[in-house]
Amino acid sequence: MLTSKELIAYGLGAEAVEAVNALLAEKGAAACWREVSRNILSPRHPFAVHQLLYERVYAAWHAETQGTPPAWFPSETDIAQANITQLMEKLELETYREFHAWSVDNRAAFWEMMIETLGVHVPSLKVESAGRNLNITGSRYNIVASCFTAPDDAVAIIARSETDPTLRDITYQELECLTNRVANGLVALGLEPGDAVAVDMPMHAESVAIYLGIVKAGCAVVSIADSFAPAEIATRLRIGKAKAVFTQDAIDRGGKRLPLYEKVVAANAPRAVVLSDTAAELNASRNDLTWADFLSACETFTAVPCYPEAHTNILFSSGTTGEPKAIPWTHTTPIKCAADAFLHHDIHPGDVLAWPTNLGWMMGPWLIYASLINRGTIALYDGVPTGRDFGIFVQNAKVSMLGVVPTLVRAWRNSGCMQGLDWRAIRAFSSTGECSNPMEMLFLMSLADYRPVIEYCGGTEIGGAYVTGTRVQPAAPSTFTTAALGLDFVLCDEEGNLADNGEVFIVPPSLGLSRRLLNAAHDEVYFSGTPQPHLRRHGDALERLARGYYRIHGRVDDTMNLSGIKVSSAEIEEVLNGVDGIRETAAVAVSPKDGGPSRLVIYVVPLGAISIPEIHTALQAALRQRLNPLFRIDEVVVVEALPRTASNKVMRRLLRAQKTAVEP
């Protein structure tokens, strides 16, 4: 039974406490929480009340046999109106599990159905299974044409910056006209279909039009995160073979003006088109253009037809080497993005999607395609999303699907900055990029009168997720409910046997799965040494829980997710090994025992006596200047030597295990 004294002190009335106790006695834990979360708790209550009630209601819940306690349950209306339900009725299937099984057993038919349902224009459409791959046959097409099927006057983008609170609406017609002006400008510069063009700028309306214009012209975007240092920009320009780059003079963030164009110049970039008010901002020794001088006046452009496997985007992810993997997206990859949004996030025409991201991370292109192909609206906030101002933007833009990185939620919870906002327009949250913490995800749900968090885990080489959730299944904090529709996976232990807790291996084929890497042997990376020849390595550690739930435990290899960005230990060590006084380093990601984002721990072998605080500062400065300022070192550990195998490889897994054993 719940005692009233503690809860009343937090602002819950005595009558509410009695109602909770009556519900718990009458209906059991799950049904009780359903009523409590819908009819008793609200965002005005401190989160301590939400957490206390959740823990007390589920005090007798047996997670090992009953699964993680759900915090959200779909209503009959939720289920009836879901996109998944409409397709199940069309296929005459009664349960979600039957639908997933059908999508896996009939993959070509499933993806044909999704292409038709989404309205992607592929003349003479036919999807055929060919071993590890699915092939779209028929005439050539351009995926950007399918981004403009909404009415001309529908809102494509709602945008604002942290320096100007005014909401700016861009209609589909206005966005298409700007996209066409970009495509015509590229042709005027002499760029041809197949050429690569880099984009290094924040996510705003102009960068969306630039992205779409490049693809519409038959070219490929080379995606570069605006936080990268010049050396990392240069690496991506070189690997992507970019012939031009779009950027801007500077970025306004948190009251600071951060130079961007000068970093691009320092990277020895090819000719740049710069969002700048005046040509005086441009480097006089280069042949760069301002945005105004580049942009064509012609607002019509016929999309260049391309083969389905023609490149649209070169994105970068990390493996176990110092150079990032260059993963091409094609004109088929966006179909996976849009299908995941339609099915698993239940996006409908007119929905407003926000996800603080940029074009250097796969979620930037994902957001464009997930929104526009589904005839929704992209909500773009050009600024720092950790403060209340971003929450006000979410409120005023009436965001219906809000995506997050778990680190962001932790910042909101610690500061309390989102309390008192009206987020009732939100129908679902989504979380990706890092392992999440259950109480932080419960906190997120509580901000919007309890909406589900769709955990979403996949990667650049998938074009979306392999494991996720839905709006037709109960949502438990920090857990997944299903393999993504249209594909499947298995878990294997270290001996390669099927297990309930182990490494993820994807069972292909599926649209979205990569077929090649620009700078590595694709099949060697993903298929060599797998437990069975047809299984595709992914590298996540996943646990199957009771009643069909899953929980992720980070990576099994030497890559890590920091602030939503995938990076390898080797990339970090390459930077840190150049710091004065250092013989060598080892970078490992340590997962907290209560879940949540990984902690970056650096093991250091010094050349002589050192001060840990001083070397910590020096290492952090090196990361900020030479790799990415978003990466934060949580701890530095000084050791005499690093553990190595007989072949002299650093045993990072041993370091990780030793650190995990002493984590509080």
| Over residues 595-608, mean pLDDT | 88
Instruction: Give per-residue pLDDT as tens, 127-140.
Output: 999 889 999 987 89
Residue with tokens 């299908």: 339
Instruction: Give per-residue pLDDT as tens, 529-546.
Output: 999 999 999 989 899 999
Domains of the chain in sequence order: 4-61 (no CATH), 144-542 (3.40.50.12780), 558-661 (3.30.300.30)
The angle, 0 to 180 degrees and rounded to 10, between the axes of the packed helices 569-576 and 612-626 is 110
CA 431 to chain centre: 7
How far is Cα 468 from Cα 452, in angstroms, rounded to an integer? 12
How far is Cα 662 from Cα 655, in angstroms, rounded to an integer? 11
How far is Cα 615 from Cα 582, in angstroms, rounded to an integer? 9
* CA torsion, ordered 10, 16, 21, 26, to nearest 10 deg: -150
Residue 322 confidence class, pLDDT cut points 50, 70, 90: low
Contact 5, 40 (CB under 8 A): no
- H-type alpha helices, 347-423: 363-372, 388-396, 406-415
Residue 255 confidence class, pLDDT cut points 50, 70, 90: confident
* CA torsion, ordered 111, 329, 519, 467, to nearest 10 deg: -50
How far is Cα 160 from Cα 408, in angstroms, rounded to an integer? 19
Q: Which one has a higher pLDDT value, 664 or 94?
A: 94
DSSP 71: S
Instruction: Give per-residue pLDDT as tens, 453-503.
Output: 999 999 999 999 999 999 999 999 999 999 999 999 999 998 999 999 999
pLDDT for the residue 2: 55
Q: Examine the pLDDT at 644 and tell me if it is beyond 90.
A: no
| Over residues 106-110, mean pLDDT | 97
Work out the number of other CB atoms within 10 angstroms of the CB of residue 551: 20
Instruction: Give per-residue pLDDT as tens, 380-434.
Output: 999 999 999 999 999 999 999 999 998 899 899 999 999 999 999 999 999 998 8
The angle, 0 to 180 degrees and rounded to 10, between the axes of the packed helices 107-118 and 333-344 is 80
| Over residues 513-526, mean pLDDT | 96
How far is Cα 147 from Cα 170, in angstroms, rounded to an integer? 14
Both tokens assigned to 460 = 């650049």
129 pairs with which residues across the strands?
134
pLDDT for the residue 494: 86
pTM exceeds 0.85 = yes
Residue 596 confidence class, pLDDT cut points 50, 70, 90: confident
Please state, rounded to an integer, the average pLDDT across all residues of the chain.
92
Q: Among 6-10, 205-209, 522-526, where is mean pLDDT lowest?
A: 6-10
For residue 509, cis peptide bond before it (omega within 30 degrees of 0): yes
Residue 648 confidence class, pLDDT cut points 50, 70, 90: low
Nearest to 296 by CA among 181, 214, 186: 181
Both tokens assigned to 21 = 């106790």
660 CB-near residues (< 8 Å, 6+ apart): 590, 591, 593
How far is Cα 113 from Cα 400, in angstroms, rounded to an integer? 26
Instruction: Give per-residue pLDDT as tens, 613-632.
Output: 999 999 999 998 888 888 89
Q: What are φ and ψ of residue 376, in 5° steps?
A: -105, -165
How far is Cα 225 from Cα 223, in angstroms, rounded to an integer? 7
Residue 559 confidence class, pLDDT cut points 50, 70, 90: confident
CA distances from 27 to 34, 41, 53, 287, 477 (A): 10, 18, 15, 72, 22
Q: Examine the pLDDT at 320 and tell me if it is beyond 70.
A: no
Residue type present at position 172? Y
The DSSP H or E segment spanning 208 is: helix 205-216
Residue 109 confidence class, pLDDT cut points 50, 70, 90: very high
Q: Examine the pLDDT at 569 and tell me if it is beyond 90.
A: no
Residue 321 confidence class, pLDDT cut points 50, 70, 90: low
Contact 406, 442 (CB under 8 A): no
Q: Give the Cα-Cα-Cα angle 433, 439, 444 (nearest 5 degrees).
A: 65
pLDDT for the residue 647: 47
CA distances from 364 to 97, 211, 230 (A): 30, 10, 21
Residue 114 confidence class, pLDDT cut points 50, 70, 90: very high
Contact 461, 532 (CB under 8 A): no
Contact 625, 229 (CB under 8 A): yes
Q: Examine the pLDDT at 12 and tell me if it is beyond 80.
A: no
Both tokens assigned to 203 = 């996510």
Both tokens assigned to 502 = 């182990």
Residue type present at position 74? P
Q: Among 167-176, 551-560, 582-591, where is mean pLDDT lowest?
A: 551-560
340 CB-near residues (< 8 Å, 6+ apart): 370, 456, 464, 465, 468, 484
Q: Among 47-56, 94-103, 166-175, 179-188, where is mean pLDDT lowest?
A: 47-56
DSSP 470: -
Q: Which one has a higher pLDDT value, 485 or 552?
A: 485
| Over residues 17-36, mean pLDDT | 87
How far is Cα 560 from Cα 581, in angstroms, rounded to an integer? 26
How far is Cα 305 from Cα 145, in angstroms, rounded to an integer? 10
| Over residues 35-39, mean pLDDT | 93
Work out the number of other CB atoms within 10 angstroms of the CB of residue 616: 17
DSSP 39: I
Both tokens assigned to 257 = 């003006």
Number of H-type helices and E-type strands within the chain: 23, 30
Q: Examine the pLDDT at 42 and tell me if it is beyond 50.
A: yes
Q: Examine the pLDDT at 372 and tell me if it is beyond 60.
A: yes
Residue 573 confidence class, pLDDT cut points 50, 70, 90: confident
Contact 405, 356 (CB under 8 A): yes
How far is Cα 291 from Cα 275, in angstroms, rounded to an integer? 5
pLDDT for the residue 630: 84
**Mode of pairing for the β-strands spanning 311-317 and 220-223:** parallel
pLDDT for the residue 150: 98
Residue 264 confidence class, pLDDT cut points 50, 70, 90: very high
Residue 3 confidence class, pLDDT cut points 50, 70, 90: low
Q: What b/e sequence results for 298-311 when a residue is b if at least 16 CB atoms lie within 10 Å of its CB, and e otherwise?
A: eeebebbebebebb
How far is Cα 597 from Cα 4, in angstroms, rounded to an integer? 35
146 pairs with which residues across the strands?
none
How far is Cα 34 from Cα 424, in angstroms, rounded to an integer? 17
How far is Cα 114 from Cα 81, in angstroms, rounded to an integer? 18
The dihedral sign for the CA sequence 457, 458, 464, 467: negative
Residue 553 confidence class, pLDDT cut points 50, 70, 90: confident
Question: Which pairs from 285-293 meet CB under 8 Å and 24+ separation?
Answer: 291/206
How far is Cα 229 from Cα 625, in angstroms, rounded to an integer? 6
Instruction: Write down how long the chain is.
Output: 664
How far is Cα 295 from Cα 179, in angstroms, rounded to an integer? 10
